[in-house]
Amino acid sequence: MPRLVLSALLCALLLSAPPPASAQLFGPLPQPTIQDVEPGVDHTARDAELPPELRRTSVFYRTEYPPGTVIVNTAERLLYLVRGNNVALRYGVGVGRDGFQWGGTHRITRKAEWPDWTPPREMIERQPYLPRWMAGGPGNPLGARALYIGTTVYRIHGTNAPETIGHAVSSGCFRLVNDDIIDLYERVPVGAKVVVQHR
């Protein structure tokens, strides 16, 4: 009899306990590794604080991809522009937070200078306080330039928040400091291959 009572108590405790995080279908959004800057706030003067390992530099880089290929390594939080002869330009990037990271091979389909920002419907659903449209400019989250990736909603773009470079903070786009996205924009044509390596 005591064994039966003990079993009943254990069962009641288990049923009353909250389910593990993996079993929760509707929980809080995955948290970024750093707080993002609000749209309209211009922190671009903080570019100077970027650590050396996230600054644009030429590096030894062995790959089978041809020159002109853009490779984003989300685990390293680095972007490489293949130059050939085992050399690439390396840029520090901010990547998607957990739950918003992805991989695959695409092409650059469009480029824009000081692009306007229209948050995708999915982003508005998650963050209803966001503006529905914002003109291009220093406080715009897309920064100075944007390279649009395939038919996805994702872009490689600048940022009004350089302190987020090297962090997992976005909803899937890749951000560079404005000086770096301007440099990349000049080097990468429409049609260039983009390889996103996730993990």
Query: Is residue 160 predicted with pLDDT exceeding 90?
Result: no
User: Could you read off the pLDDT of 169-179 as tens digits, one per residue?
Assistant: 988 999 999 99
In a domain, 59, yes or no: yes
In a domain, 95, yes or no: yes
Give CA separation, 174 vs 72, 104, 122, 151, in Å.
8, 14, 17, 15
In a domain, 114, yes or no: yes
In a domain, 102, yes or no: yes
In a domain, 27, yes or no: no
CA-angle at 26, arms to 126 and 19, nearest 5°: 150
User: Could you read off the pLDDT of 3-46 as tens digits, one per residue?
Assistant: 443 343 333 333 333 433 333 333 444 556 656 666 656 666 66
Q: What is the pLDDT of residue 14?
A: 35
Would you name the residues annotated as active-site residues?
157, 173
- φ and ψ at residue 147, rounded to 5 degrees: -115, 120
Q: Would you tell me how many other CB atoms lie within 10 Å of the CB of residue 40?
A: 13
Residue in 162, 171, 128 with CA at minimum distance from that of residue 32: 171
User: Could you read off the pLDDT of 138-156 as tens digits, one per residue?
Assistant: 888 899 999 999 999 999 9
Q: Read off the tokens for 44.
A: 């671009």
Return mean pLDDT, the chain.
81
In a domain, 70, yes or no: yes
99 versus 187: the higher-pLDDT residue is 187
Q: What is the pLDDT of residue 5?
A: 39
Which residue carries 């064994």 as its tokens? Answer: 3
In a domain, 88, yes or no: yes
Range of the domain at 100: 34-197
- φ and ψ at residue 55, rounded to 5 degrees: -85, 150
CATH number, domain with residue 115: 2.40.440.10
Q: What is the pLDDT of residue 125?
A: 81
Overall number of domains in the chain: 1
The model carries a pTM of: 0.77
> Of all residues in the chain, what percent carry a pLDDT higher than 90?
55
By CB neighbour count within 10 A (0-12 exposed, 13-18 middle, 19+ buried), where does 130 fall? middle
pLDDT band of residue 167 (cuts 50, 70, 90) is very high
What is the pLDDT averaged over residues 95-109? 92
In a domain, 58, yes or no: yes
pLDDT band of residue 104 (cuts 50, 70, 90) is very high
Beta bridge partners of 105: 195
